[in-house]
Every structure is written in structure tokens, then in C-alpha cells.
Amino acid sequence: MIRHPHFETMSRSELEKLQLERLKKTVAYVYERVPFYRSGMQKLGVNPEDIRTLSDVARLPFTSKLDFRDNYPFGLACVPQDEIVRVHSSSGTTGKPVIAPYTQKDVEVWAELVARSLVCAGMTREDILQNAYGYGLFTGGLGLHYGAERLGATVVPASTGNTKRQLMLIQDLGTTAISCTPSYALILHETAQEMGIDLHQSKLRLGILGAEPWSENMRIDIEDKLGITALSIYGLTEIVGPGVSMECPHKTGLHIWEDNFLVEIIDPATGQVLPYGEQGELIITTIDKEAQPVLRFRTKDITSLNIETCECGRTMARMARIAGRSDDMIRVRGVSVFPSQIESVLLTVEGVEAQYMIVVDRQNAFASDELEVWVEVSEDIFSDEMTQMVALQGKLQRELDSVLGIKARIKLVEPRKLARTEGKAKRVVDRSELPQL
């Protein structure tokens, strides 16, 4: 099913016409209202009238997460406070968080985009969605909530945590779809197993998973363990929240809602725009927002774009699964790797769960050549024989070397559920901030 066929199946030329019109409007709008954008454009010698074709977007300055911090809290807003009906915020692990204000129209457009995403995933108003994203400042909870309500589905606002209650609700209410992080989906399965519940016997059939990077192998693992179709949803607080793009059941990339978001791929090192199909950093310009439109936001997410029409009939560009964060890219003796690549290698070894941590040493320049991967020892891989454990360690080490060409030291560790119970799993950890048992 397609919720907005007029937009979702528009020809590329029609779509580009719409995008150009909306881009021009947005650029003029922020130039007039936000000193940050005006001075940024003036520095580059660009006026709103200089935007004549879509490719002229490359003449505009980039916006980074840091710019949001520098203009905290409302420096990037285009409307007076009385027009703002809601504010969300990023988790803000360091320094001030990112503030995302919405007008009445913004929250309505957002809900429509999430509804569109859910339909794209195969949901209908018959579905019962258990929303296990955190409610509150985080965009995931309320974003999914209002989108699913707009669709007319039944929403169970379970929020995060209390896994046993989540499982009870899944069983008792006949939940058909769950929205949560991929790592939480695995926790659900783990806890279900401990409680003697087989999720394959439940009505759960669909997972709307996002808010952290995950691999294709992890998808297979989740689908197999929970007996569901697991699809990826993507979004960022700076842009709108979830509902920027969504996978359809063909699983050939996430459909970007290009009538709202103009996307580019750049080389993260030079800032040069790359052609369709090439891998680089995703750049997003919002072209239908009121409270806080963003020009050329550097997402730091590494992906590639495909503009071929999908088998589902949608013409909008599809972005590949996020390969990693340009920040997370780890260099080991000159080879760059993403945590997701390490994860997919680990998962090919039988019994190894997706619970791992990559330990880097940012304080010690000499140690940057060394990579240590901590793999949690679950019951599936634990043996009472030392020879078996050492063989497993050696196998993981050899696989990383042969597939990725990196020398990593595999360290087998006790389970530390800390790193994954709350929201996003942190995969790359500095030696100085290692979680203790």
C-alpha cells in the first residue's frame, strides 16, 4: 500500500520541479529570518536568488550539529515562540542538546510522514503497534505515536524498559507490530526465552526498528528469533525525528521522503558532492518546515543513494543501510572500518550474539593502531573446556583478519547488560570509559 501515491510515485522530473520550488522558498525564508544562515550565505557570496537549479544547493553552506549547540536553544528557529507547539531534543551526551521546535503545521506534516512510513512498512489501521521507543524529549516515542495514530492503528505507548511487561502486553493485547531499537528487539527475545515464551507463537509480525545502526546479519538474526519482518526506519532530531526514510518489505534501501527532504551525498573529507550510487556522508536539507528548517545538514551517516524505481512502485530515492558514522570510522593501521562491518563478521561465527564492544584508546596515540573487540560470552558459546574457548577466540580473530584485513585482539568478557538496556547500544568505547562489571 502507498499512502500518498501522488508524491511517492511522482516522476523524477516532477519531483525535482517540486523540490526546486520548495528549496527556493526555504532558502529565502531562512535567509530572511535566521542570522546564522544569512551570514553563512553572505560569507560564501550566495544570495537566495542564486538558487536557480537543484544542483545550486551545493552552493549553500553546511550546517553541523555544532551549529545547533552554538545557537542553543532557539537561535536557528524561524518563528516566534508563540507559534511553537512542541519541542523535542536529542540525548545530548556531550554539552548542550539539540533543540527541535515544531509549529502546528510541522507536527502535522511529521505525523503524516510517519504514517506514510508505517504504511510503507506494510502497516494498516488493523495493526496494533507497541511503541517501545522512549517517550519524552526523544523524537522516537511521540514521533511514532502520532504517526501511528494518524494512520488509525491501535497504539500501545509502552515506552522503553520493563521488558517483562512488554512481553505480557504483546501476548495479551495481540500486538502485531513493535517499534524499538534493534538491540532492544534482541533483549525482548532473550527475556522471552528466559520466561519460556515463544514469540513465534505471538501475533507479532513486524518490527519498525531504528535509532541505532544495525547490520543485515542482525536483521536476519532478529527476524529469525522473533518471527517477524524487521524493517529499518531512519530519522534525526535535527531534521524532524523518525520518518525521514523507511524501508519497504522489499528491503532494498530506505525510501527517503524527498518531497520534504532534499538529499545529497558528499565526500566527508572534502565536502564535494558525489554522484548517485557512491558511498559518502548523507546531507539533508528540509524543504517543507516552518519552525526550524535546516540547510545542508551534515548527518555524519555514511550511505549511498539509488534513484531507480523500487519494485514497490515508489520513485523516491532509496538510501542504503547506514554503513557507519563518519565519526565512528576507526582506522587500524591505515585500514578504515565501521563498527557495523565488525559486527557482521562476528555474527557469521556460530552462536556469537550481537553483543560486543570495540575498545579504542583515544588518549594514547600509540595505541591507535591496536583494536580490541570485546565479545560477551553467552550460554551459546560458553564451553567448560578451555581449548574450545581459545579456539573460538582464534576463529573470531582470523575472521576479522581475513574479511576486513584488520588485526584485532578478541577479548572474551562476561555479559555487561549495561551497554544495551537503555536506548542506543554504544559500540565504540574509549578505554577510559569502559563499563565495569
Partner 1 sequence: MKIKQVSVFAENTKGRLLAVLQALEGAEVNLRAISVSENADFGIVRMIMDNPDKGIAALKEVGFTGRLDTMLSAEIPDVPSGMLRTVVQPLSESGINVDYFYAFLDQEPGTARIVLKTSDDDKAEKLLKNK
Which positions lie near partner 1, rule CB under 8 A? 377-379, 382-387, 389-390, 411-415, 417, 437
CB 409 within 8 A of CB 370: yes
Q: Which is nearer to partner 1, 172 or 379 (CB)?
A: 379
SS3 341: helix
User: Helix (H) and strand (E) counts for the chain?
Assistant: 12, 21
Smallest distance from partner 1 to CB 379, Å: 6
DSSP string, 156-171: E---S--HHHHHHHHH
* Of 223 and 370, CB closest to partner 1: 370
Note the helical H segments in 2-131: 5-8, 12-33, 35-43, 65-70, 104-120
| Least Cβ distance, residue 7 to partner 1 (angstroms) | 50
Reading the block at residue 416, the C-alpha cell is 555487561
C-alpha cell at 233: 526506519
Minimum distance of partner 1 from residue 377's CB (angstroms): 5
For partner 1, the closer of residues 189 and 296 by Cβ is: 189
Give the shortest CB-422-to-partner 1 separation in angstroms: 17
| Shortest distance in whole angstroms from residue 416 CB to partner 1 | 8
| DSSP element (H, E) containing 343 | helix 339-348
The C-alpha cell that represents 362 in the structure block: 583515544
Nearer to partner 1, 194 or 216 (CB): 194
Q: Coil, strand or helix: which one is 59?
A: helix
If the CB atoms of residues 331 and 417 are measured against partner 1, the closer one turns out to be 417
Q: What are phi and psi of 259, to 5 degrees?
A: -70, -15
Beta-bridged to residue 302, according to DSSP, are 281, 324
| Minimum separation from the CB atom of position 193 to partner 1 (A) | 13
Answer for the pair 163, 191: CB distance below 8 angstroms, yes or no: yes
Contacts of 242 (CB under 8 A, 6+ apart): 114, 117, 133, 139, 140, 143, 144, 147, 210, 211, 233, 234, 235
Distance CA 415, CA 419 (A): 10
Report the Cα 143 to chain-centroid distance in Å: 14
- What is the smallest separation between the CB atom of 168 and partner 1, expressed in angstroms? 21
Query: Cβ closer to partner 1: 259 or 376?
Result: 376
Report, in Å, the least distance between residue 383 CB and partner 1. 8
Q: Closer to partner 1 at the Cβ: 276 or 382?
A: 382
- Closest distance to partner 1 from the beta carbon of 220 (Å): 24
Q: Which is nearer to partner 1, 12 or 416 (CB)?
A: 416
Cα–Cα separations (whole angstroms), residue 300 to 97, 148, 242, 325, 365: 17, 28, 16, 5, 24
Strands 154-156 and 177-180: unpaired
Closest to partner 1 by CB, 172 or 385: 385
Which grid cell is 308? 531507480
